[in-house]
Structure formats: structure tokens, C-alpha cells
Structure 1
Amino acid sequence: MTPPQPVLEPGHALVRVHNVTLCGTDLHIWEDDYPTDLPIIQGHEFSGVVEELAPGGIANTSITVGDRVAVNPVISCGRCRPCRAGRYNVCQDVGCLGCYSNGAFTELVSVPVQKLCPVPDDLPLEIAAMGEPASIAMQAVNRGRPEAGETALVLGSGPIGLLATLYLTDLGVNVVCADTEQHRLDLAVGFGAVDTLLVTPGSEFPDAHQARRLNALTDNYGPQLVIEATGVPSSLENAIRLVASAGRIVQVGISPRQAKVSMKDIPYKELDLMGSRMSLNLIPEGLALLARHPDQARALLTHRFAFADLQQAYRLMQGRTEKIGKILIEMPVRRSA
């Protein structure tokens, strides 16, 4: 697909894209297994440099040409009931650059200046591309109303689960992580997990030994907060079963599959069961989180490819034969004349 020439609309900036990171949604779009219209230019987790601003300037912004920025890809109408309530991440007609409209796998992108998030001076631009997934993890955590001293169970130690673990730890929460892959749990320890639980598919979870450890950390009540970051139906079922009475569950993992949810546990425990989608422009906070934890941010970035090798990157994700965190796509960067 030949990228169209970007039009610098009033209130917009032209951003030269330097780095894009991939997520599971990108793979689903590439496989044509996602509810969007093709063809489309992908790429929604990205960073770059401001190359041009629309004439006349923009009120209430300090963005200038040459600034390093990450971009909030969420598009909302501003008119529907969720938007009027400040919940524009679940706009009735929500969009996302690279998912429902053309995104960052191109040289220049025209975006509203309000969508630009300055990158901290001490944060490499390639790491800043992960500001968007960091914001998703932070949105999920914030939805769960964590309190310092609580114990949270994070189900799934992929990038979102790991970033949620990092943020929860910063907030003073004791985090237990569960995953089916030991190498992900090893990473989770470096992201702040106080304990990890290896899930064996098809076996009882937690097993007797794991249950004793979890009980010891929660005074036998269970975790007050569970972040479900896998999208696996049985994982939500586990969350409902394991969470403490009066606890909170945040479902951030997405799947079209159906879960068998107990109609007893939710009212008997009086649970708060919440969804979480994208974020309420938490990318600046996500960039700050990454800047505070440079070693963890670099550990999350496991592979890099040139844009010319993008198909190879997708094949790697599809094959699931390597230990993958985030995949970075390095865009060919050239300056305008």
C-alpha cells in the first residue's frame, strides 16, 4: 500500500516516525483477524520527531519543531456520552491510528498537536515508542484503585502484565505474577514481583504449594486486586475464584472467546469487575515510568528489525518459537530538504 502524502491540517503537526513497536493487535490485523477495513497502514505504538507545525501556532502547547515525541493514537468524537463524561478512550465511535485508520508505518504522520507527548530528555526515542503500552498498563492499574500495602495478583506476564507489575510496585503494592512461561516470570521478578506462580495448562491452579504461598501473602483472604492481562477465558474464571471478598478485578486482556463466569461468586463476594481499554492519555505518565526504570524498559525490548524486514518480525510473532517481549521496528529516517 502506497502511503498517502500527509496533509498538515490546522492544529496538526507533521511527525517523522523513528520507531514503532508491535503488539498482538498488530499481528491480528496482519493476519486479517481483526475488525478493521483493509488495506490499512499499521503502527500505533510509535515515537518520532516533530518536523513541521501548522501555521498560526496552537494554544496551550509548548511543542516546537525538533521536539522528540510519542503519540497518543486514540481518536474520539468528543460528542458522545462517554466523551462528554471524560471517558473518551471508550468513545462510542472510538478510533486508533494504525488500527482503524492509517498509522505510523510511513515516513511522516500528521496528528493533532494535542496528541503529542514530549519524551523526557533521558529517555531514548526507541524506548519512548513503548509509552503507549505503558499507558494501557497504567490505565488498568488505575481502574483497580490500588492501595499501598495491598497484594495484587497479575495474571499474565507479557508486556502489559509486566508494565502493570512495575507500576503497582512503584505504588507500594505487593505483586504476585502468574504465567505459563517461566522466562516471563523470571522477568517479572526484575519488574518488582514478590512471588511468581507458574501455571501448567490443564492442571490445577494454584496447586497446593502455590495456594499456601498466596495465602501467606494475603492473610488467607486472597488478593485484593487482580489484573487479568491474558485474555484467556479460564484466567478470568481464576480471577473471580481467587480474588478476596470485596476485591476488584480488572480485565485488560482482550479476546472474542467466551468465559464461564460464576453467577454466585460475583454477588457473594460483592466484587468490582471492570474492563480497561487503551488509556485516558496516560502516555506522559507511561514515558515517566519507563524513564524511572531504564533497565526494565530495555529488558522488555527483546527484538529489533529494520522496516524492510517487517514481514520477518510478524513471522517471528506468529511462530512463537522465541522468547519475545516487545519488537521494535526501526523506520528509515531521512530529513526533508
Structure 2
Amino acid sequence: MLTARTIAKETIEYQETAEPVLAEGNALVRIHHVTLCGTDLHIWEDDYPTDLPLIQGHEFSGVVEAVGENPAGIQPGDKVAVSPMSFCGDCQPCRLGRYNVCENISCLGCYEDGAFAELLSVPVEKLCPVPEGLALDLAAMGEPASIAMQAVNRGRPIAGETALVLGSGPIGLLATLYLTDLGVKVICADIEPERLQLATRFGAVDTLQVVPAADFPDAGQAQRLNKLTRGCGPTLIIEATGAPASLENAIRLVASAGRIVQVGISPRSAAVSMKEVPFKELDLLGSRNSLNLIPDGLNLLAAHQDQARELMTHRVPFGKLADAFELMRNRTEKVGKIMIEMPASQPPSQNAQVLAGASA
């Protein structure tokens, strides 16, 4: 089978390797679709705490080709997404039921070989059946949907309250979609007007454009925000950018006794107010991965397929992975989710083109 291995910084090598052998308790999944996120870009740039060489790819869907012992009732031919995380079960977080922050956590495509391969062997319990009617390409986004849902759940949303989502990238938009389904009124903020237009289609009742190096909110935005929150500020804020200034804005804008969930990741430091946090008695919460929420994420996508499809801005064949990473990095055009089309997703007549692209 054909695999794509990141062997060094910004260097992908396509290799012919033996297909995996079906192991007890595992299934063989023929990979059809893989989506990219910022973590994939950092790994490709060798700017992530993992070791190269590595077969990347952690957001993916495919079709079961073979299955061994099968208490879950999975059958060959079933369409599945795959949970890429594994946990030790023994560390303190795991014992608390917080295995999403396991001290020994691993992830396919991040710390061990992942989905940029034609066939993958995975434990049966990691298979997440695709709901009836959900397109298999959209199912590849079950993992990012689960991350957005974990962040929202951490914030303990209450129907009828007003939330502010800072950042209208894929995670912020999926969080907006989920919050809206839960009966929460959502305001979205972002620096890109095109993303804010998309946010309204994901359920936002209002949007605020952030202008770099300018006051946020400006006078007009502050008036709208006060009207929507009855002068108290949003009671829940999801910070989905990872920008230090955005967390600082969240602490300043959130209502007293409010909750802030930090899901955006950055190595940079933010200036946290040592006055507002205690004076407002804020809940400042982190969010990472999810507590096995990919099945819930798939159901969210199935209920909102039109919006989910709008997240996908580019499709790139497997043989042109380097082009996909360059597109993410250079931002020569507006980029949402990039879908990598694996050979199995293409008609047989096109597979030769995929393989030719890989060897070019």
C-alpha cells in the first residue's frame, strides 16, 4: 500500500509498505478522507513535540475492510470515523475520568503513525459508525466537531444565556453550531469579515469584527453587546483563537460569575488580570481533546450538513500533500478545512493519477 511519511521538516516521502495484518481486537479500515488542522501544519514544519519520521493524519473516515473479534457489531463495509486518541487508564487524570488529558496520551498521526496510508489497523472500540445519511467526507470532521463540543460542555451552557465565541475558524464555528442547538444565543467575533458572514449561517445572532491594534469592542460594538447581554456582558465565552489578546479581551468582557473556556492553543503568554479574575469570581477553564465525543460530533454534522460542508474550502489529492501544507501556511487564499482525498475515495480510473502525483 502507499503511505506518506513526513521524514523531516517540510519533507514528505511516499513509500510502498506492506499492508497491516488484522490483529485480534482490531479492524482494518480503508481510508477515504483526511482533513487537516493546525497541528498537522506544525508537525510538517517540525514545530511540534513529536518525533519525525511520522505518518500524519488524525482526522479521518473510511470503510471497514475486515474485522476480527467484534463485540461492537461492526461489519465489513461499514462507514466509520476513527477516534485517534489512546489513554493509559492509570494516571491521575484517567482515574478521575479526565482521560482526554491523560499524562501518557497518544494520538494517531501526531505521536504514532496515522491515516496518510491506504489501509490502517485500529482497535474496534475506536471505530465510530457514521450516522445514516451523513456523507463519508463530512464524517472526517467528527474529530474537530468533538473538540468544539468538549469546549462547549466545559462551559456548562445554559439555554437562553448569551455566549461570545472569539474566533470563527472551524472550532469556533462548530462551537457556535452546537451552542445554538442547545438554545444559547451566540455572538461571534473574528478579524475576517468572510468568517463572520459564515458564522451567521452557523447560528450567530450577531457578529463583531475585530480590528488588529484597535480597541475591541469599539463604541458601536459595545452598545450592541450591552443590548444583547442586558448590560452585564456574556455569561459564557469560548476563546478559540489562541491569541493572547483574545483571552485578555475575554476576561475583560465576560460577566461577573461568568465562565471562560480556553480551547485555542498557543505557546505565547497572556496578561491575566489579577484583579478581574477574583473580583468577578470567574471560572477560567481549559479544554483539550474530548471525552469520546466523536459519535456526538458525527450526529452534530449529520444534523447540519450544509453548514459542515461550508467549512471545507479545498480538496487536495493524496499525491499533492505538500501543496496542501503550503496552502495552509502561505494563506494565499481563504482557507477553512482542507480535505485530502485518499485513493479509495476516487474512481479506479483516477487512482493512477493519484499514484503518479505521489511519485512526481
Q: So what's the TM-score if we normalise by structure 2?
A: 0.91
Aligned match of 2:351: none
Output the CA distance in 2 between the equivalents of 1:222 and 1:9: 54
Shift of 1:75: 1.1
1:14 has 2:21 as partner: no
Output the CA distance in 2 between the equivalents of 1:5 and 1:94: 26
- Larger mean CA deviation between 182-191 and 84-93 belongs to 84-93
Shift of 1:246: 0.3
1:274 has 2:285 as partner: yes
Q: Which residue among 70, 90, 95 is the counterpart of 1:58? A: 70
CA distance 1:84–1:213, change in 2 (3 Å): same
1:216 has 2:230 as partner: no
Q: How does 1:253-272 map to 2 (within 5 A)?
A: 253-272=264-283
Aligned match of 1:32: 46
Shift of 1:4: 5.8
Q: How does 1:99-110 map to 2 (within 5 A)?
A: 99-110=110-121
Output the CA distance in 1 between the equivalents of 2:22 and 2:196: 45
Give a deviation string over 1:280-325, Cα, whole Å, max 9, x none.
1111111111111111011111110110111111111111121111
Q: How does 1:188-337 map to 2 (within 5 A)?
A: 188-333=199-344
Q: What SS does the corresponding residue of 1:328 show, helix, strand or coil?
A: strand
Output the CA distance in 1 between the equivalents of 2:258 and 2:318: 44
Output the CA distance in 2 between the equivalents of 1:5 and 1:293: 36
Shift of 1:245: 0.3
Output the CA distance in 1 between the equivalents of 2:258 and 2:330: 37
Moved over 3 A (4+): 1-5
Output the CA distance in 2 between the equivalents of 1:65 and 1:123: 18
* Paired residues, number: 332
Q: What SS does the corresponding residue of 1:226 show, helix, strand or coil?
A: strand
Q: How does 1:121-200 map to 2 (within 5 A)?
A: 121-200=132-211
Output the CA distance in 2 between the equivalents of 1:205 and 1:284: 37
Gaps of 5+ in 2: 6-14, 349-360
- Larger mean CA deviation between 144-153 and 9-18 belongs to 9-18
The residue identity in structure 1 corresponding to 2:28 is: L
The residue identity in structure 2 corresponding to 1:193 is: A
Give a deviation string over 1:83-121, Cα, whole Å, max 9, x none.
122111100111111011100000111111111000012
Give a deviation string over 1:203-251, Cα, whole Å, max 9, x none.
0000010001000000100000000000000100000110000000000
RMSD of the alignment, in Å?
1.1
CA distance 1:199–1:265, change in 2 (3 Å): same
Give a deviation string over 1:115-140, Cα, whole Å, max 9, x none.
10000120110000001000000000
Q: Which residue among 78, 85, 93 is the counterpart of 1:67? A: 78
Shift of 1:9: 2.4
Q: Between the two proteins, what is the percent identity of the paired residues?
A: 71
